[in-house]
Amino acid sequence: MTTRDQFSIFNIFSPLGLLTILFLCSMSCFNRVEEKNANTREGLPDQESWKVTITLTDHGTIRSIVRSGHLEKYDDKQFILLDQRVNSDFFNEEENHTTNLKSELAEVEEGNDFMRAMGNVIVVSDSGVTLYTDTLVWDSKEELIYTEDNVMLTTEKGDTLYGIGFESDIAMENWRIIKPSGVTAIKENEQ
């Protein structure tokens, strides 16, 4: 026996060598099939887009135009996640602009155009009212925006109000802070 034969466990052309090679190849293929099945699409979006604009309508009337840097759409849940610089314009029944909303994220339920804005939410109405909060919900069917979080609101007259909880029409003409507190610029003789 030569030195070369002593270090060789098997000869690849021997029956044992061929069986070993076949075994390793089959295990390699089996592992790839398992890895492929482990990489399912569960939990992943069905569609993804960047620099998007979504138009939300009610019977053909534009109610909101929503822009975002990134969108993930989930078909089974009828759900859209907007997760980069959300900027939304809202319109009344005559398609006149009423309000602008900015937030870090937003979720849209497609079936009912129910939108939840989250993260540094700022809403500015064309009438001059500005709302600051952490989350805000827009219910398009009820024509309401609302939150249960802390809010800060500045009015068109320069008043600053604070509170917990808020609800309003989308134009922020008829608004209410649920648990208010704050400072007003109204003087006693102006009442």
Higher pLDDT, 137 or 58: 137
- In whole angstroms, give the CA distance from residue 38 to residue 53: 34
pLDDT of residue 37: 47
Residue 121 near residue 101, CB atoms below 8 Å: yes
- Give phi and psi for 21, each to the nearest 5: -65, -45
The 3-class secondary structure across 23-43, one letter per residue, is HHHHHHHHHHHHHHHHCCCCC
Is the pLDDT at 43 greater than 90? The verdict is: no
Q: What is the pTM of this model?
A: 0.70
Structural domain boundaries of the chain? 3-38, 47-183
pLDDT tens digit string along 90-148?
A: 998 899 999 999 999 999 887 776 889 999 999 999 999 999 999 999 988 888 999 99
CA distances from 101 to 14, 97, 131 (A): 74, 12, 9
pLDDT of residue 56: 82
- In whole angstroms, give the CA distance from residue 15 to residue 185: 96
CB atoms within 10 A of CB 187: 7
From the centroid of its chain, how far is CA 132?
19
pLDDT band at 26 (very low <50, low <70, confident <90, very high): low
pLDDT tens digit string along 165-185?
A: 999 998 999 999 999 886 556
Least confident of 22-31, 54-63, 96-105, 140-149: 22-31
CATH code of the region 47-183: 2.60.450.10
